[in-house]
Structure 1
């Protein structure tokens, strides 16, 4: 009987456990299948909304992200945040896909030329080296010109929109260029007077705004460390973006690099021929250029006027130099602008835009590191033939090329020595080069050396003080 009692005693307990397990499974089944449709609904996120509200009021970039969620009501945001959206936010999506290659956005600065802007955007989008995932396009609009806004909105999600409003006065004292410190300009004929001051103040403020937004605030700004800048009157070359991608790592390996530019001030058709040739210059070129976050962080105490001349000053440049191509990767077609077209007719209309889609992955550009570049430059100058004057240099090249259809590799380059800046200016005028110097530095010059091509052969203009070495 004891055995029988022990044998039947566990049965009631096992039955109770089994019943409880069945009830638990049924309960979980009910919970999952009852709440799953609710969880799947995109508009049932009370917790996320509460968290997002807290983030939005404390961190601008988070607010930019959440403000684009369609379920958010504008009335929930404080009035100052609404104004901040209009002044500083990127209008449109800024969600960028994850890519293996570095993201390098391009910012196009626009004001009141809608037709110019459309041509520029179309040129960027049609460039053979353009990649939407690697190069998101931002249009930074100064003001509320309706034609410009309409152009921007017509591209939908292909581009992102920033809007800038000039506060009406610079935030600190402006250093005027020398031409504005001369006797009253009213005594001069209109064609000789410098442009008004205010547009230059607005442009400088616009650049500071866009750089600040792109590097410090725009949603996704932590995804990039480089930035390409264009203006709203530029065509770009097929290899525009692949060129910048190739040069981007130099910022990390060469502290002497100041910027990378797509523009050659002496890039007129008669003076260029080699689409793969790259050089260094101590005169900031601008007009389609790439900067690094490190340079921005160093120089974000921005000058509120004539920003490009400010970047050329020795205090900011600190002995560094920019890389630029022999054949420009941008072409500016805006005959009228802030400078009232001073330089367009004589210099810019004959600029050569590169039409070749260079495979930059196959091009060795290691020689551009400063130490290697300096040695290479000395070697090139050492092998050039000294000659007196631009005219004689051209005649000598003509003699060497006489009867030859193509430029042979064995034709010697020519070298002209000069004494001071006045001598160089005279040489550049004779050669029909742009002879306007910046901060005492000739355009495209490096260590005082300026060069151009004549019939494909380089002519070097070199200061007598330049150390060429033996030979």
Structure 2
């Protein structure tokens, strides 16, 4: 590491290269390092390639390098150029905050120092929604996921890809750069220090705290630095359905205008092939549960969450009442993402993959969502039509469904009253049986729709239900 470098020995411009190459001392007169920058910065930290000074003196630096050293230098130059570009944007962001704070302290009009006019958010009348890809150290997973995204997206201008990488893993960074101009922005989370002040039990789960730190960095880059109004967040172990972008684009205006919506998600935790209706692959639902795994939020929501972002376990934190605030996400009957086998490797060590996640199957038939009337998802209409309609259905037992006691009943309701009712029946029916802040997975007002024995089941609380019980978690 060459840190806080000084004592400029000499500077030469390599003929025809445009590179400003400098040799700086490192505290050892016999060794030096050099790097490429667009402008001259003082006290710049960088990874360096060491070259004995006596070999470099009086020569253009590239001429003293071995072939493998040139390759190594080229990669370091790319890293540095990316870091400087990102730092420049970050400096502009900090400057805007400081200027706003100064105005407020001087007694001028109060202002949101984080507020920023969106840049490149619309191309004429064209909606632009960036895809924020979260990556760390799984190069082959990232390669497959990015290729799938690029092959699937209908427009690079409408859906620019932003990759945010943690871990500073060079092979993963190389994969990002191999896609060239297909990637709009590439940023690397700079803080690789250990998480501070963790309790002994938390130390074992430090990876989850690093993930939360990375998410905050990445979302700040997309919303506060780049200024986008909304973003779709994905991870490097996801596979995307052919209508993934169509789905997100169709729901974008609903998310932007409906204050009762929290997010749009491509995921269904109960999306096993036998539990969804493939003849209704256009069917969408509201859910009180945050599904994640390919999800879209707005900059307004980020502004609300940013200052209280958690130290760890960000996804469960989002599911808490203080964050959700009785808002819902939209989710599909049939998932528009699925987890690749690469998902077995990661911080969670493949938890639930073999038992559950690998059985979730995404949609394979394109649905033209942007041409469909999705107004049934607006809250007032959804509650008056969907919720009330469910409580008019026949109330049956799980045995009635398993034995197909009433073949004419295509849609039925199975009721639970207590937490134990829910868990025992959920296990028998094969749906997820856990709660997060009292909310069952995919539930809306406690109601979970799925197929059982080819019959539509609405697993629901009594009609007198009023709110979730957080003690059920």
TM over 0.5: yes
Q: Distance in 2 between matches of 1:269 and 1:130?
A: 27
Query: Which secondary structure state, in structure 1, belongs to the residue aligned with residue 440 of structure 2?
Result: coil
2:61 aligns to what? none
Q: CA deviation at 1:332?
A: 0.7
TM-aligned CA distance change 1:255 to 1:174, over 3 Å? farther
Equivalent of 1:163, from 188, 211, 222? 188
Equivalent of 2:245, from 241, 244, 254? 241
Q: CA deviation at 1:97?
A: 8.6
2:83 aligns to what? 86
Equivalent of 1:196, from 204, 218, 232? 204
Equivalent of 2:403, from 395, 400, 408? 395
Equivalent of 2:327, from 300, 320, 330? 320
Question: Residues 200-279 of structure 1 correspond to what in structure 2 (within 5 A)?
Answer: 200-218=208-226, 221=227, 224-273=228-277, 274-279=280-285
Q: Distance in 1 between matches of 2:373 and 2:121?
A: 31
**Structure of higher CA gyration radius:** 1
After superposition, give the CA deviation of every residue in 1:170-191 in whole Å (9 maximum; x if it has no partner).
57x7799xxx69xxxxxxxxxx
TM-aligned CA distance change 1:289 to 1:303, over 3 Å? same
TM-aligned CA distance change 1:96 to 1:76, over 3 Å? farther
2:364 aligns to what? 355
Q: CA deviation at 1:98?
A: 2.7
Q: CA deviation at 1:445?
A: 0.6
Structure possessing the higher relative contact order (Cα contacts under 8 Å, 6 or more residues apart)? 1
TM-aligned CA distance change 1:84 to 1:300, over 3 Å? farther
After superposition, give the CA deviation of every residue in 1:42-74 in whole Å (9 maximum; x if it has no partner).
xxxxxxxxxxxxxxxxxxxxxxxxxxxxxx963
Query: Aligned residues, how many?
Result: 363
Whether 2:375 is the aligned partner of 1:366: answer yes
Query: Which secondary structure state, in structure 2, belongs to the residue aligned with residue 165 of structure 1?
Result: coil
- Scaled by the length of structure 1, the TM-score of the pair is 0.71
Residues 124 and 130 of structure 1 are in contact (CA less than 8 Å); yes or no, is this contact kept in structure 2?
Answer: no
After superposition, give the CA deviation of every residue in 1:268-314 in whole Å (9 maximum; x if it has no partner).
11111221111111111111100101100011121120000110001
TM-aligned CA distance change 1:304 to 1:198, over 3 Å? same
Q: CA deviation at 1:347?
A: 1.0
Q: Distance in 2 between matches of 1:420 and 1:105?
A: 42
Q: Distance in 2 between matches of 1:458 and 1:78?
A: 66
Q: CA deviation at 1:322?
A: 0.8
Q: Distance in 2 between matches of 1:421 and 1:261?
A: 26
Whether 2:335 is the aligned partner of 1:310: answer no
Equivalent of 2:173, from 118, 143, 149? 149
Equivalent of 1:294, from 287, 297, 300? 300
Q: CA deviation at 1:169?
A: 4.7
Q: Distance in 1 between matches of 2:350 and 2:372?
A: 36
TM-aligned CA distance change 1:319 to 1:174, over 3 Å? farther
Q: Distance in 2 between matches of 1:91 and 1:457?
A: 57
1:102 aligns to what? 127
TM-aligned CA distance change 1:306 to 1:467, over 3 Å? closer
> Relative to total residues, which structure has the larger helix share, 1 or 2?
1
Structure 1 residues without counterparts, runs of 5 or longer: 1-71, 182-194, 401-409
2:457 aligns to what? 459
Q: CA deviation at 1:99?
A: 4.3
Q: Distance in 2 between matches of 1:373 and 1:97?
A: 31
Q: Distance in 1 between matches of 2:311 and 2:276?
A: 35
Residues 90 and 162 of structure 1 are in contact (CA less than 8 Å); yes or no, is this contact kept in structure 2?
Answer: no
Residues 278 and 324 of structure 1 are in contact (CA less than 8 Å); yes or no, is this contact kept in structure 2?
Answer: yes
Equivalent of 2:347, from 331, 338, 342? 338
Residues 154 and 245 of structure 2 are in contact (CA less than 8 Å); yes or no, is this contact kept in structure 1?
Answer: yes
Structure 2 residues without counterparts, runs of 5 or longer: 1-35, 47-79, 90-118, 467-473
- Scaled by the length of structure 2, the TM-score of the pair is 0.71
Q: Distance in 2 between matches of 1:78 and 1:99?
A: 41
Q: CA deviation at 1:433?
A: 1.1
TM-aligned CA distance change 1:216 to 1:231, over 3 Å? same
After superposition, give the CA deviation of every residue in 1:136-191 in whole Å (9 maximum; x if it has no partner).
011111122122111111111111311013353557x7799xxx69xxxxxxxxxx
Q: Distance in 1 between matches of 2:453 and 2:435?
A: 25
Query: Which secondary structure state, in structure 1, belongs to the residue aligned with residue 404 of structure 2?
Result: helix
Please, what is the CA RMSD of the aligned residues?
Answer: 2.9
User: Runs (4+) of structure 1 moved beyond 6 Å?
Assistant: 81-84, 94-97, 173-176
> Relative to total residues, which structure has the larger strand share, 1 or 2?
2
Q: Distance in 2 between matches of 1:148 and 1:324?
A: 31
1:12 aligns to what? none
Q: Distance in 2 between matches of 1:348 and 1:196?
A: 24
Q: CA deviation at 1:123?
A: 0.8
After superposition, give the CA deviation of every residue in 1:103-154 in whole Å (9 maximum; x if it has no partner).
0000111111111101101110111x43101010111111221221111111
Q: Distance in 1 between matches of 2:148 and 2:302?
A: 27
Equivalent of 2:288, from 282, 286, 292? 282
Q: CA deviation at 1:338?
A: 1.4
Q: Distance in 1 between matches of 2:318 and 2:438?
A: 13
1:116 aligns to what? 141
Residues 393 and 412 of structure 2 are in contact (CA less than 8 Å); yes or no, is this contact kept in structure 1?
Answer: yes
Q: CA deviation at 1:416?
A: 0.9
2:435 aligns to what? 437
Residues 444 and 450 of structure 1 are in contact (CA less than 8 Å); yes or no, is this contact kept in structure 2?
Answer: yes
Q: Distance in 1 between matches of 2:415 and 2:84?
A: 53
